[in-house]
Amino acid sequence: MAASLVFRLHNRGPELVREVLLERGWEEYDEKEQEEEDWNLYWRGSAFCKSEYHNLLPWQRLNHHPKTAGITRKDCLARNLRRMKATFGSALYDFSPIAFILPNDYTRFLDEYNKLRLTRGPSVYWICKPVDLSRGRGIFIFEDIKDLVYDCSVIVQRYISSPLLISGYKFDLRIYVCVKSFHPLTVYIHQEGLVRFATEKYSLSSLKNLYAHLTNTSINKFGPFYKTQKERVGQGCKWTLSKFRHFLHSQDINQLLLWQRINNIVTLTLLTIAPSVPSCPNCVELFGFDILIDVKFKPWLLEVNYSPALTLDCQADVTVKKSLISDLIDLMNYTSTDRLRERAYQKHGHKQPCLHADQPSHVPIPVLPKAKQSKFQKKTRSIQSSQTQALPLIKTLHWSEKINRRRTRHHEQPAASWKLPSIYRYIQLFIIPLEGTTAVNGQHVPPLRVGDFIRTFPFNTATLEASQHKLDVKIIIQELHKLTAQLADWRSEEEEEDVEGEEDFDSLLWGQKDPPLLRQYFKP
Ligand code: ADP
How does residue 426 score in pLDDT terms, banded at 50, 70 and 90?
very low
Q: What is the pLDDT of residues 125-156, one digit of tens each?
A: 999 999 988 899 999 999 999 999 999 999 99
What is the average pLDDT across 77-104? 96
Q: What's residue 489's pLDDT?
A: 76
Q: What's residue 32's pLDDT?
A: 86
In angstroms, the CA 105 to CA 204 distance is 26
Q: What's residue 351's pLDDT?
A: 40
How does residue 404 score in pLDDT terms, banded at 50, 70 and 90?
low
Per the CB < 8 A criterion, the answer to whether 325 and 16 are in contact is: yes
Q: What's residue 262's pLDDT?
A: 97
Q: Which of 72, 94, 129, 137 maximizes ligand 1 atoms within 8 Å of its Cβ, making it the mutation to test the pocket?
A: 129
- Residue 306 DSSP one-character state: S
Is residue 353 scored above 70 in pLDDT? Answer: no
Say which residues have a Cβ less than 8 Å from residue 435's Cβ, sequence separation at least 6. 447
In angstroms, the CA 159 to CA 142 distance is 9
Q: What's residue 269's pLDDT?
A: 98
Q: Which atom of ligand 1 is nearest to the CA of 218?
A: 4
- Using a 10 angstrom Cβ sphere, with 0-12 exposed, 13-18 middle and 19 or more buried, the burial of residue 489 is exposed
Q: Which of 292, 301, 307 maximizes ligand 1 atoms within 8 Å of its Cβ, making it the mutation to test the pocket?
A: 292
Q: What is the mean pLDDT of the chain?
A: 82
Q: Is the CB of 97 under 6 A from ligand 1?
A: yes
CA 20 from chain centre, in angstroms, equals 19
Alpha-carbon dihedral 79, 85, 90, 95, rounded to 10 degrees: -50
Q: What is the pLDDT of residues 502-511, one digit of tens each?
A: 556 788 989 9
Q: Which of 169, 302, 303, 305 maximizes ligand 1 atoms within 8 Å of its Cβ, making it the mutation to test the pocket?
A: 302
What is the average pLDDT across 254-260? 91
Q: What's residue 384's pLDDT?
A: 34
Is residue 523 scored above 70 in pLDDT? Answer: no
Q: Could you tell me the distance, in angstroms and rounded to a whole number, from the CA of residue 423 to the centre of ligand 1?
A: 47
Q: What is the pLDDT of residues 303-352, one digit of tens each?
A: 999 999 999 999 999 999 999 999 999 999 887 556 666 666 665 544 43
CA 136 from chain centre, in angstroms, equals 21
Q: Which atom of ligand 1 is nearest to the CA of 74?
A: 6
Q: Could you tell me the distance, in angstroms and rounded to a whole number, from the CA of residue 302 to the centre of ligand 1?
A: 6
Q: What share of the chain has pLDDT > 90, as a percent? A: 63
Q: Could you tell me the distance, in angstroms and rounded to a whole number, from the CA of residue 173 to the centre of ligand 1?
A: 11
**Which one is predicted more confidently, 498 or 77?**
77
Is residue 405 scored above 80 in pLDDT? Answer: no
Q: Which atom of ligand 1 is nearest to the CA of 130?
A: 3
pTM above 0.75?
A: yes
Q: Is the CB of 302 under 6 A from ligand 1?
A: yes
**Which one is predicted more confidently, 361 or 158?**
158
What is the average pLDDT across 79-94? 95
Nearest CA to ligand 1 atom 10: 136
What is the average pLDDT across 239-259? 93
Per the CB < 8 A criterion, the answer to whether 413 and 347 are in contact is: no
Q: Is the CB of 75 under 6 A from ligand 1?
A: no
Q: Could you tell me the distance, in angstroms and rounded to a whole number, from the CA of residue 136 to the centre of ligand 1?
A: 7
Is residue 409 scored above 50 in pLDDT? Answer: no
Q: What is the pLDDT of residues 11-52, one digit of tens each?
A: 888 999 999 999 999 999 998 888 888 899 999 999 999 999
Nearest CA to ligand 1 atom 8: 136
Q: Which domains does the chain have, with CATH numbers?
A: 1-96+164-343+446-493 (3.30.470.20), 98-159 (no CATH)
Q: Is the CB of 263 under 6 A from ligand 1?
A: no
Other CB atoms within 10 Å distance of the CB of residue 215: 26
Q: What's residue 260's pLDDT?
A: 94
Per the CB < 8 A criterion, the answer to whether 72 and 287 are in contact is: yes
**Which one is predicted more confidently, 366 or 212?**
212
Q: Could you tell me the distance, in angstroms and rounded to a whole number, from the CA of residue 196 to the centre of ligand 1?
A: 11
Q: Could you tell me the distance, in angstroms and rounded to a whole number, from the CA of residue 103 to the centre of ligand 1?
A: 20
Q: What is the pLDDT of residues 214-248, one digit of tens each?
A: 999 999 999 999 999 999 999 999 999 999 999 99
Q: What's residue 424's pLDDT?
A: 27
Q: Could you tell me the distance, in angstroms and rounded to a whole number, from the CA of residue 452 to the centre of ligand 1?
A: 27
Nearest CA to ligand 1 atom 17: 214
